[in-house]
Structures are given as C-alpha cells and as structure tokens.
Amino acid sequence: MEQQTGTFAVKKGLAQMLKGGVIMDVVTAEQAKIAEDAGACAVMALERVPADIRVQGGVARMSDPELILKIMDAVTIPVMAKCRIGHFVEAQILESLGVDYIDESEVLTPADESFHILKHDFKVPFVCGCRNLGEALRRIGEGAAMIRTKGEAGTGDVVEAVRHARTVMGEIRRLTTMDAAELMTYSKEIGAPYELVKETKELGRTPVVNFAAGGVATPADAALMMQLGVDGVFVGSGIFKSGDPSKRAAAIVKSVTHYRDASILAEVSKNLGEPMVGRTVAQLPESEKMAGRGW
Amino acid sequence: MKIGVLALQGDFAEHIATLKRLGVETREVRLPENLTGLDGLIIPGGESTTIGKLATDFNLMEPLRQFGKAHTVWGTCAGAIFLSKDVSRPQPLLGIMDIKVERNAFGRQTDSFESDLDIHELKQATNSSHPYHAFFIRAPIIESVSGSAKILATLPDGRIVAAQQGHLLATSFHPELTGDTRFHEYFLSLAS
C-alpha cells in the first residue's frame, strides 16, 4: 500500500479545506500570529502588501526566504507565498522552503509575458488569478489546484472583484445550459481546454476551489463575494492597512461564515475603526492596473 | 434521519454532497439552535484553529459537548482535532473523545498524501472487501487513545489514523473527498 504525495487530488484537497475561510496577507511573523488568532484559515507571506507595492513602485519580486520561513515558524495554519508570473525558479525556491501553496500572482511584476509556470511539474500546489472562465480553465490546465478571481489588488475598491466573480459565475451559468455540441466552439471562443469546459458544465462550478481577491476591505465586501458564489476570500491590504487590524480580521472571518445573516453582519461591522483608505479603480491609469497581467 | 454538518469553515459542502448521495436529509450548523432535531453531526475538515475560534465566538462549545453526549458525532481531520482532549498547544477543543492528537503530524502540504487503508470494522459494516482509499491533507495523527476509545485504523507503520469511542468517531483523513461512501455509511449506521 504505497503512499503517493503531490497528486492533483491532494493539491486540490488543501484548497477544499480552506473553503469558507479567509486568507490574509501578512508581512511579519507578528501579523501572521494576529491573523491566526483572528481565525484566518491561511496566511500569504509577503514583503509588501499590494497597496504598498502600488505606492512604492519598482519591480515587485518573490519575498525574502528568511521572512517566509519566520512566518512559517510563527503559525500552525497553512502559509502561502507569491512568485512572479512565469518565474518557475522563484517557484522552485518557494517549494524548497516548504510553503503550503504558491500564488503565481499578477500583484508581482511578471517575469514572462507569454507563458505561465507549468504547475503540474511541482509537488506544491498553486493558486492563480483569473478575470473570466477561460483564464481560470487555462490556469487549471497548466496545473493550478485553486483559482481566485483577481479583482484589483491594493485598492480597497471591491468593484473589480465583483466584476470578475460575476463574469466567471455568469459564464458557468450559460455553459450549463449549452448543448454538448456547442462545447468545442465555446472552448475555442474562451481559449480554454475542451476537457475542462466539459467538466465545468457537468459540475456546474469551477473544477477547483475558487476564492475572491483584490479589493475586499470590509465584512460586507467579504459577504458580498460569498453571496456571489465564491468559496472563500483573500484579504490583502484591507486588514493591516486599516485602523484596528485584529478586530477587522476577526470581523471578516465571521462575515464569511455567516455571509447570509444580515443581523450578524451588522453586528460584526460595528466599531471597526478606519478601513484602509483605498483608491477607486475607475481613477487608476491603465498602466497601474494589475489584473490585466496574465495570458 | 437528519444529519447536521458543522458549517463554520472547511469542506462542509463535500460532506453534505456525500450524505445527499446516500439519500440523507442534511442541515448546515452555524449557530446553537441549528442543532435541534438532528440525529447526528459531522465536523468537517478545515482549519481547527478557525473552527475553534468561531465555535467559541458563536457560543457553540457547550451545546456541541451536550449534543455529543447523546448523539453520534464524527470529526474528519480538523474535526478529529476539535473532538480530542489534547493537542499539545492551546486552542479551543471540545474534549469529548479520549484521544490525544498531533497536528500536521506528517509535515507540510508537500508531505500530504493518499494511501489505501485496511479497516476491518468498515469492511464488516458495509459487507465489502476492497481497501479504503484515504486522503491525508496536512493531516493529524492520533497519538494515543485512552478510556473507552478504541483504534479503528492505522497506517502500515502503526500510526493511528481513525478511532471510535461509542458513538463518537474521529478520522485524520477525508472520506468526503473520495467517491467511496462506505465511511459515511458506517457513520449513519451508528447514528440510526
């Protein structure tokens, strides 16, 4: 009876354990501990949250391995870390550190403008961003075991997260009503592998877990994304760029569990202090938008 | 028969889907009042620290302990941790099963694995002979059982991965991730 590690079912399985939870960006071991105590189901270890990457500019790369290891030491929940799109050596390094998930992320500066990482080559699972079903299924085709809608990271404006979640969910709803004969042409139209289009139609959902990301700043934002049909929520800058991170983190965790209960949502939304200041996506110049990165 | 699935965080939808395949009525449990009228409860996989915190914040700890006194309760992975008496670190536990658990006992995610298990009770209860294919995701092990708790399954090296104490069940693996419904059938046989 041999034990098999790194199978797709095992990679996908960890994402299933994260469902109904909140994954929080943290930049220090102390923040990681605050996130864990507030009920985060995982943390994303970073040097800079997306809001700071926006302000400071420059090339954004994988974080210092030393920082990631410190965060891994500080908490018992899964630790994720980001590599640049297409930068498979950063991914190899993160895998060797033993991180639990790699986010091949548009928040960092892309290393390859044509190709994403072939994620099937790794034992560690990957999560990737998407704006629509075609993009989601291309990433799964490359081996992503979890998907997140991109939103627009570091803005605190939920509008893009809503747009991307509604796009993916709407496309799945339309796909479920299609005749089997229509699927090949639909695959061609959205640039997605035929087998995965077929699987999505049969399941009536994405073949792997799908979280929302990019702009969630309040418990109401998180519950909105859940009601739109995602499996859980990433919160990046929204927690540690706010006035009272610990309280806001705990409130967002509760809002994801009780996302349909407006009276609990009202209760947890009370007295949270200042939210992150935020930037409206509509006023961002095209060159500053991160969601367009990915092919 | 109506079975509840604790729906604070984790893969509760996978358990519900499996129960539905077996024709069982289900209910998501998020608040104490959701426990009323249930014949059994499953605590799913997820993060045990998250589930423990939410159960504490929404006043579910004591109602869950009371429920476990009279009803069948099964914890998978994080759920098994939550049922245990001791995990060698401070975190909210129901402490209703006489088992000691070590969290993330196999290492990190790259050490997660799938493997066949030979579970005598399961084969007997479901009148089947093939092994049970199990998924271990950042899985805990049951370090030891005491009191009336007994070992239900071990890995070939002897480490305990499933235990039973009367109508309480704990598995460090995830029957809800397989298409094999035998473990759920076994649970239902205890609940009825």
- Is there a contact between A257 and B174 if contact means CB atoms under 8 Å apart? no
Mean pLDDT across B132-157 = 97
Rounded to two decimals, what is the model's pTM?
Answer: 0.97
How close does chain B come to A290, measured CA to CA in Å?
29
Closest CA to B3 of A213, A173, B20, B63: B20
Q: What is the pLDDT of residue A277?
A: 85
Alpha helices in chain A (DSSP H): 8-18, 29-38, 50-56, 65-74, 88-97, 133-142, 159-176, 183-190, 194-203, 219-227, 237-240, 245-257, 262-268
Residues of chain B with Cβ-Cβ distance to A101 below 8 Å are 109
Query: Looking at the 3D structure of chain B, how many domains does it have?
Result: 1
Reduced 3-state DSSP string for chain B: CEEEEECCCCCHHHHHHHHHHCCCEEEEECCHHHHCCCCEEEECCCCHHHHHHHHHHCCCHHHHHHHHHHCEEEEECHHHHHHCCECCCCCCCCCCCCEEEECCCCCCHHHCEEEEECCHHHHHHHCCCCCEEEEECCCCEEEEECCCCEEEEECCCCCEEEEEECCEEEECCCHHHCCCCHHHHHHHHHHC
- Write the residue in A4, A40, A124 that is nearest to B113 by C-beta: A4
Q: Which chain A residue has its CA at the smallest distance from B104's CA?
A: A76
Q: What is the CATH number of the domain that holds B150?
A: 3.40.50.880
Pick A78's closest partner by Cβ from B109, B115, B177: B109
User: What domain range is B136 assigned to?
Assistant: 2-191
In chain A, residues with a C-beta closer than 8 Å to the C-beta of B103 are 76
- pLDDT, residue A278, reads 87
In this predicted model, what pLDDT tens digit does every residue of B22-37 receive, in sequence order? 999 999 999 999 999 9
Q: Cβ of A13 and B177 within 8 Å?
A: yes
B14: which chain A residues are within 8 Å (Cβ-Cβ)? 16
Q: What is the residue type of B132?
A: Y
Q: Which chain B residue has the Cα nearest residue A258?
A: B30
Q: Please tell me the distance in Å from A15's CA to the nearest CA on chain B.
A: 9
Interchain CB distance below 8 Å, A9 and B114? yes
For an interface test with B, which of A4, A16, A203, A261 has the most B Cβ atoms less than 10 Å from its Cβ? Answer: A16
Tens of pLDDT, residues B123-138? 999 999 999 999 999 9
Distance from CA of A244 to the nearest CA of B (A): 19
pLDDT in tens, A248-285: 999 999 999 999 999 999 999 999 999 988 889 999 99
pLDDT above 90 as % of chain B: 99
> Which of A17, A73, A80, A259 to mutate to probe the B interface, most B CBs <10 Å?
A17
Quick one: closest CA in A to B77, which residue? A17
Tell if the CB–CB gap between B77 and A17 is shorter than 8 Å.
Answer: yes
- Is the CB of B30 less than 8 angstroms away from the CB of A257? yes
Task: Please give the mean pLDDT across all residues of chain B.
Answer: 97
Burial class from Cβ neighbours inside 10 Å (0-12, 13-18, 19+) for residue A285 reads exposed
Is residue B77 annotated as a catalytic residue, yes or no?
yes
Q: Rounded to a whole number, what is the distance in Å from the CA of A13 to chain B's nearest CA?
A: 7
CB contacts < 8 A, A to B, total 125
**Partners of residue B116 in chain A, C-beta under 8 Å:** 1
Residue A146's DSSP bridge partners are: A127, A209
Residue A128 has pLDDT above 70, yes or no: yes
**B121 in active site:** no
Residues of chain B with Cβ-Cβ distance to A74 below 8 Å are none
Which one of B50, B54, B113 has the shortest CB-CB distance to A5? B113
Residue B124: its pLDDT value, please?
93
Among B14, B77, B102, B184, the one annotated catalytic? B77
Asked if B81 contacts B87 with a C-beta cutoff of 8 angstroms, the reply is yes
| pLDDT score recorded for residue A62 | 97
Average pLDDT over residues B70-85: 98
Residues of B in contact with A253 (CB under 8 A): 50, 53-54
The reply to whether residue B50 touches residue A21, judged by beta carbons under 8 angstroms, is: yes
B110 vs A14: CB contact, 8 Å cut-off? no
For residue A1, pLDDT beyond 60: no
Q: Tokens in use for A23?
A: 């994954």
Please provide the average confidence, as pLDDT, over all residues in chain A: 96
Segment A172-198, tens digit of pLDDT: 999 999 999 999 999 999 999 999 999
Question: pLDDT band at residue A108, thresholds of 50, 70 and 90?
Answer: very high
For B110, name the nearest residue in chain A, comparing CA atoms only.
A124
Which residues of A are tagged catalytic?
Answer: 82
Best residue in A2, A4, A10 for a mutation probing chain B (most B CBs within 10 Å)? A10
